[in-house]
A and B are shown apart, each in its own frame.
Chain A
Amino acid sequence: DTGVSQNPRHKITKRGQNVTFRCDPISEHNRLYWYRQTLGQGPEFLTYFQNEAQLEKSRLLSDRFSAERPKGSFSTLEIQRTEQGDSAMYLCASSLKVQSQGETQYFGPGTRLLVL
């Protein structure tokens, strides 16, 4: 059973640089979520996809952030012109949404970003 995987696990970058993270969901899952977790806090929702369609974006997701899920499988999260405030753990989760049934999200190990 392969779970959700994320790459890289750690990323150190300089302020102003662009970074991209990848998430590979559990293979049959149709929904994919991105969350951000800062130190001492719970994860906060950023965006989610159903198949390849991006259905919701949080107000936390500024115009420097973009996410894609081009073929309804893996997803990428890009941050342009990184700022020190972007330093956080970025978590990906996937789920299988079946109509009229409850939905459970399974999380990956996260990508820890440090912006210097």
Chain B
Amino acid sequence: AQSVTQPDIHITVSEGASLELRCNYSYGATPYLFWYVQSPGQGLQLLLKYFSGDTLVQGIKGFEAEFKRSQSSFNLRKPSVHWSDAAEYFCAVGPRGGGNKLTFGTGTQLKVEL
């Protein structure tokens, strides 16, 4: 069965510092990969996605993620964090064929210290 692991439940960084959120997946084949962000009490906003091609993908708000097939990872990065980035971040995977129900990790809560 497919699964997504986000090993860091909480991360605290200082504003202006760099950020890396980890995501590992277990899947039968290379899935589609996504990062979403959720502010308190809100729905999920898509940050970026990987379908194929260049393994370094750029997203909104200055985020990027790198797909590493050998490590089954899709880590999210940002070179300089802003206080408004404080939120919960979810990594998700979806199948390449058929229905595209997403399987989510448990999320990483990001706190930004001013």
Contacts and interface: CB of A to CB of B under 8 A. Distances in A.
B43 A33 contact: no
B94 A103 contact: yes
Interface residues of A, number: 29
Given A42-B105, A102-B49, A104-B49, A91 B41 contact: no
Interface in A82-115: 91, 93, 95, 97, 102-110, 112
B107 A48 contact: no
A91 B44 contact: yes
Given A103-B32, A107-B43, A107-B45, A48 B101 contact: yes
B102 A105 contact: yes
Nearest to B96: A102
Nearest to B97: A100
Given A103-B94, A104-B46, A107-B44, A45 B101 contact: yes
A52 B57 CA distance: 34
Interface residues of B, number: 25
Nearest to A43: B104
Interface string B28-69: 000010101000011111100101100000000000000000
Given A42-B92, A42-B106, A56 B99 contact: yes
Contacts of A56: 99, 101
A44 B1 CA distance: 14
Contacts of B41: 112
A37 B51 CA distance: 25
B104 A44 contact: yes
B100 interface: yes
B74 interface: no
A43 B36 CA distance: 11
Interface of A: 4, 6, 31, 33, 35, 40-45, 48, 55-56, 58, 91, 93, 95, 97, 102-110, 112
